[in-house]
Amino acid sequence: MSEAAIGTVRIRSPLGEFWRRFMRRRVALFAGVAILVLVLAAIFAPWIAPYDATTPDYGNVLSGPSFAHLAGTDVFGRDIFSRIIWGGRVSLTVGFVSVALGCAVGMALGVVSGFAGGFLDSLIMRFCDVLLAFPGILLAIAVVAVLGPGISNVVYAIAVFSMPVFARLVRGSTLALKETVYVQAARSIGVRALPLIVYHILPGTLPGVIVYLSLRIGTSILTAAALSFIGLGAQPPSPEWGAMLSDGRSYLGVADHLTVFPGLAIFVTVLAFNLLGDGLRDALDQKLR
């Protein structure tokens, strides 16, 4: 290769390389756009929703979909479409906050466990094993049963059963990263443990964490909806998607729109996060290059 050709070689930054690879995943890109639309709709719900989500209209009870009410009305005459938009704010907030909380605690435990090793590693991992021994939904129900029903307690419950998975994921990455040449070199010149973890090890764990984070948000939204469906999550008249499904199950065959539209909202949202997670995995995994 000539010197002129070498001079024209363009070196992409890691972020640029990731974006180039992600843009080639059309399905994941479409899912990301769908999530962005859902987030914007949740943020601007007061201006987008055509009706108030909690005000009843007893003269328009159980109306089917129409131009006036795109998704029909419920047993109290409340507009289903407006309640779905407002419910998106509740469900997305629960998904993002609960997973972020579980991720933060899990990453801290995982990196300490993998870096320290020995007795502390065994203690943290056995604690995670105990939590992982319970099915996620049962563990969440147990936490809510102790703390009491309510959307804020659902956040804590989902964070608790998300935490051990992040801890194991980060621990595995930490065990591999602390044996790399650049980490050993940093230790040899006297870099202390905390800067070593923050600047050299944690950044290396982020690709796997980001992928699992996007997948876990969809699972958390589904779990929150399940808890609300059985009465342990959002309480009336909160327009949460799982609570809307619970309210509409008594009218199956009479007013199916009460369950169809909230169910579609849950399905589309969870599917979008799963597809986005697959695209992020393909874009971040160097082995797939």
Condensed to tens digits (0 to 9), the pLDDT of residues 6-57 reads 444 455 666 666 667 767 778 888 888 999 999 999 899 889 888 888 888 8
Using the predicted structure, report yes or no on whether residue 112 has a pLDDT greater than 70: yes
Predicted confidence (pLDDT) per residue in 226-241, tens digit: 888 888 887 877 888 8
Would you say 178 and 201 are in contact if contact means Cβ atoms under 8 Å apart?
Answer: yes
Q: Is the pTM of this model over 0.85?
A: no
DSSP annotation of 133 reads T
DSSP for 225-271, please give it. HHHHHTTSSSPTT---HHHHHHHHGGGTTT-THHHHHHHHHHHHHHH
Q: In the chain, what are the domains? A: 15-47+77-288 (1.10.3720.10)
Which residues, including other chains, have CB under 8 Å from residue 264's CB and lie 6 or more apart? none
Using the predicted structure, report yes or no on whether residue 222 has a pLDDT greater than 80: yes
What is the SS3 assignment for 79?
A: strand
Band of residue 101 on the pLDDT scale cut at 50, 70, 90: very high
In the block, which residue shows the tokens 């007795």?
Answer: 119
Whole-angstrom Cα distance, residue 266 to residue 272? 10
DSSP for 152-210, please give it. HHHHHHHHHHHHHHHHHHHHHHHHHHTTSHHHHHHHHTT--HHHHIIIIIHHHHHHHHH
Tell me what pLDDT residue 86 has: 92
